[in-house]
Amino acid sequence: MSSRRSPRLIRFIARLLKVRSEHEGRQLLRATRLVGVFGLLIVAPVALLAYFALASTSDGATSIEADLAPEGRGLVQQILDEEREIFGTFETAVDRRLLRNQSPVNGLDELSPHLIAAYQLQGGTSLVEPFDLPLSEDPAELTPAFERAMQRAIHAEQRGELAEAAERYAEAAQQTTSARLSGEARLHQARLYGVLGVGAYTYADVIGDYGALRDSRGFRIGDVARLNQAELAAGRSPDGALALRELVDMLMGSRWVLFEGGEPTVARRALSKLETIRRTGGSIDPDWLSRTRRSLDRRDAQLYWSGYLFDELAELVDRGVGTEAGTTYRTHPNSPALWAFRRSGQDLIVYAFDRDEILQSLQRSADRLSELKADLVSEIRLQDGSPMGPTVFRRAFDHLPGFEVQVSAADPEGLTEARRRRAATRIAIVLLAIATSVIGVGVTVRYVLNELESARIKTDFAANVSHELRSPITQIRLKGEALQLDLIRDDDDRRAQYDAIVREAERLSRLVDNVLDFAAIERGAKRYTMRPEDPVVLIHSAVETSRANIEGAGMTLELDLPDDLPVVWIDRDAIGQVLINLLSNAVKYGASGKWIGVEARHTGQALELRVRDRGIGIAPEDRNRIFDDFYRSADPRVRRCKGTGIGLTIVRYIVEAHGGRITAEPTPGGGTTFTVHLPLTARDGGGATSHG
Ligand code: ADP
């Protein structure tokens, strides 16, 4: 190969691979290019892919959550939609009320089923609707004279001295400067007068004098007086029920006072009385009864919650919550309320929702939705930052500050397991791909090396054939010229010259035969004609052909042919060539043993032909390869002999075409024994034809 043009690396590789000729160099260059292209186009991309695939196995962990995320997102979205619906409806209803100039703090049911209290704060601070604030009343001082009179009154009433008791109550009323205490005493007086039928001081007088005052239990004295009066009337005549109903209507129509439960209690008492009357046959409108009972309950609950939450509201207002435009939502973990602040002109309107009820209702919806998606669970919870498991998706509520809806995998262990399995599968696939690529590289390299080897073998073959041709031709020409020029006078010498010419011509024709046969075999054009033959005749003929060669090498030939050899179906010329090739090899590689043995044996259905020598023998690793095309052992003792590496190839082909087989074994004591096993009857096929 031209060393000038090839880079140093290639030269190095060439030396490593023992490249000898220009042709081999070109082969090597081509192979190197092939390896380069292979590395660039296959190995590099595969390595890159493997790298990315391995890197992506760590993403496998998150990708299952990512798989569930769309479902989780959908679920969360539905719950958020429901939450928006609750508050959207509420805000629209409030807007409508304000637009129509209707009270935004009464009839809370119609605004939202979750409302528990509402306040209208004038100027953002002072409560104007729906309840009044209690007036600060004078502290009622109990004087000893008042208490004494009251004690006497009570004792007299217990004794049944009603007139005496009424007088004592009247006395007590005069013994105090507190209008409230005096009103309470007067109420008792009026009650006893009512029983006694004395008209001197009646409930009507109490209502007139003390009606708006509250007694120590928070009842308006007027309300109690009216209740007592109406109950009395109801006991007397059926028309008395009317007064009770009027009382209820009056109480329901009046403004109630925060922290004062008197009005609803009196109304409730009157309603119960009316219900009893109705049950005992009184004519009371049942619709009115139930309607009134319902709105009483609602308003009472609203009064209760409005009072309960009032301090919290005051604190929020102090902090300036609700000054922003639109509706502001606030909540505090310790409070049962969700607050909504809304400006309306100068006023601040504040609503309190039952927060836990809203959360529970959202949780119920979430449960219903996650029941449909078996692999997810959802939870409405405080946004405290700690996820309850591997979270698939979470979102904060718009109107419930501090709360969020979170969707997680229903079965976190299963998820982890699935995750692990997925990662393992990926790694296995990647490793398999890498292994396959590595094997692919190995196979390719081997293939390239084999190609190189076969290129070398073919080069050797061409060189060997030309070399083998040259020496007999030279011999024949030299000896022929010597005879032609009449340079040899001695008859014996001349005879020897002729013999040598014939021998060299035979060698030449053997070589040409072999090359032509090999070519025919390669083309698949070789045909054999099977006839019954006497093996002894055949062996003698082959030995005769080789005799000059054997004797020329100074070797002795030992024939061992039994008399009872059977006739075999063979192609005489082909089997002859087998023997000649084996004998020729025995001469070449067995010359040092000075001995060749040829023997034939009849065993069962086969004829065995053996050619033995005591030469250099065959290394065990070569024993299987010597029959391959062009194969020549690397042993220097073999290399010293001329050869083309096709002799045994032809031998094996011919033997197999006869349905037989050939083996090479060591001869005991050194050398090689080739054994040809031939079936007695020729077999069709393998390119063989038989006649006769
Ligand atoms: P060639 O003899 O032209 O090299 P063959 O096909 O006849 O080719 O033989 C192949 C190889 O087998 C030889 O190169 C040699 O290594 C080995 N071989 C054949 N016959 C013998 C033998 N009798 N003793 C030792 N080696 C042998």
DSSP for 563-629? TTPPPEEE-HHHHHHHHHHHHHHHHHHHGGGTEEEEEEEEETTEEEEEEEE-SS---GGGTTTTTST
Say if ligand 1 is within 6 A of residue 644 CB: yes
**pLDDT tens-digit series, residues 29-78:** 777 787 788 778 777 887 787 787 777 766 555 556 667 778 888 888 99
Confidence of residue 155 (pLDDT cuts 50, 70, 90): very high
* Per-residue confidence (pLDDT) for residue 666, from 0 to 100: 93
Say what the pLDDT of residue 692 is: 33
Percent of the chain at pLDDT > 90 equals: 33
Residue 387 near residue 395 (C-beta atoms within 8 A): no
Closest residue CA from atom 13 of ligand 1: 632
Q: Is the CB of 615 under 6 A from ligand 1?
A: yes
209: Cβ contacts below 8 Å, ≥ 6 apart:
183, 186
The residue to mutate among 514, 549, 578, 585, having the most atoms of ligand 1 within 8 angstroms of its beta carbon, is: 585
Whether residue 172 has its Cβ less than 6 Å from ligand 1 = no
| Index of the ligand 1 atom closest to the CA of residue 617 | 25
Instruction: Answer whether 632 contacts ligand 1 (Cβ < 6 A).
Output: yes
Rounded average pLDDT over 483-509? 88
Q: Which run of H or of E encompasses 65?
A: helix 60-99
Higher pLDDT, 7 or 184: 184
* Cβ-count burial 462-487 (b if 16+ within 10 Å, e if not): eebbeebeeebeebbeebeeeeeeee
CB-ligand 1 contact for 672 (6 Å cutoff)? yes
Q: Is the CB of 643 under 6 A from ligand 1?
A: yes
Residue 14 has pLDDT above 80, yes or no: no
CA of 555 to the centre of ligand 1 (A): 18
574, burial (CB in 10 Å: exposed 0-12, middle 13-18, buried 19+): buried
- φ and ψ at 394, to 5 degrees? -145, 150
Q: Decide: 586 in ligand 1 pocket, CB within 6 A.
A: yes
Phi, psi of 672 (to 5 degrees): -130, 145
Band of residue 5 on the pLDDT scale cut at 50, 70, 90: low
| Average pLDDT rounded to a whole number, residues 416-436 | 82
pLDDT band at 690 (very low <50, low <70, confident <90, very high): very low
pLDDT tens per residue across span 93-144: 999 999 998 889 888 888 999 999 999 988 777 777 788 888 776 676 788 8
pLDDT band, residue 3 (cuts 50/70/90)? very low
The single residue listed with the structure tokens 């030279």 is 474
Question: What is the average pLDDT value for the chain, to the nearest integer?
Answer: 85
Tell me which of 123 and 24 has the higher pLDDT. 123
CA distance linking residue 64 with residue 67, whole number of Å:
5
Most confident of 170-179, 330-339, 610-619: 610-619
Q: Which helix (H) or strand (E) holds 609?
A: strand 606-613
pLDDT in tens, 195-222: 888 888 888 888 988 888 888 888 889 8
Task: Write down how long the chain is.
Answer: 692
Q: Which has more confidence, 188 or 406?
A: 188
Q: What is the largest distance, in Å, between two alpha-carbon atoms of the chain?
A: 195
Q: Which pLDDT belongs to residue 20?
A: 65
The continuous run of DSSP H or E covering 295 comes out as helix 286-308
Q: What residue owns the CA closest to ligand 1's atom 14?
A: 632
Sign of CA dihedral 131, 135, 140, 146: negative
Q: Using CA atoms, how far apart are residues 654 and 573, in angstroms rounded to an integer?
A: 10
Between CA 242 and CA 491 the distance in angstroms is 175
- Ligand 1 centre and the CA of 687: distance in Å? 25
Q: Is the pLDDT of residue 507 over 90?
A: no
Task: Quote the pLDDT of residue 488.
Answer: 86
Q: Does 456 sit in the ligand 1 pocket, CB within 6 Å? A: no
Position 85 scores a pLDDT of: 92
Regarding the beta carbon of 597 and ligand 1, being less than 6 Å apart is answered no
For residue 374, pLDDT beyond 50: yes
**Does any ligand 1 atom lie closer than 6 A to the CB of residue 678?**
no
- CB atoms under 10 Å from CB of 261, counted, come to 17
> What span, in angstroms and rounded, lies between the C-alpha atoms of 649 and 308?
112
| Helical ranges in 175-239 per DSSP H | 179-196, 203-210, 221-236
Nearest CA to 395 out of 382, 386, 383, 404 is that of 404
Residues 561 and 599: beta-carbon distance below 8 Å: yes
CB burial of residue 446 (10 Å; 0-12, 13-18, 19+): exposed
Task: Tell which wins on pLDDT, 433 or 224.
Answer: 224
For residues 6 and 414, which has the higher predicted lDDT (pLDDT)? 414
The whole-number average pLDDT for the span 507-514 is: 86
Percent of the chain at pLDDT exceeding 70: 92
**Residue 2: pLDDT over 60:** no
- Which residues on adjacent β-strands are paired with residue 331? 338
CA-wise closest residue to 23 among 336, 452, 349, 636:
452
Which atom number of ligand 1 is nearest to the Cα of residue 627?
A: 6
Please report the pLDDT score of residue 169 as a whole number: 93
Tell me the range of 56-65, 134-143, 228-237, 615-624 where mean pLDDT is highest: 615-624
- Does the predicted model carry a pTM greater than 0.95? no
Bridge partners (DSSP) of residue 685 are 688
Output the CA angle 371-372-374, nearest 5 degrees.
Answer: 70
Helix extents (H) in 374-490: 412-484
E-strand ranges in 87-246 read 115-122, 126-129
> Between 322 and 449, where is the model more confident?
449
**Over the stretch 513-562, which tens digit does the pLDDT of each residue have?**
888 888 888 888 888 999 999 999 999 999 998 888 898 889 999 999 99
Res. 586: pLDDT tops 90: yes
Q: Which two tokens stand for residue 112?
A: 């939202």
Q: Has residue 687 got a pLDDT over 60?
A: no
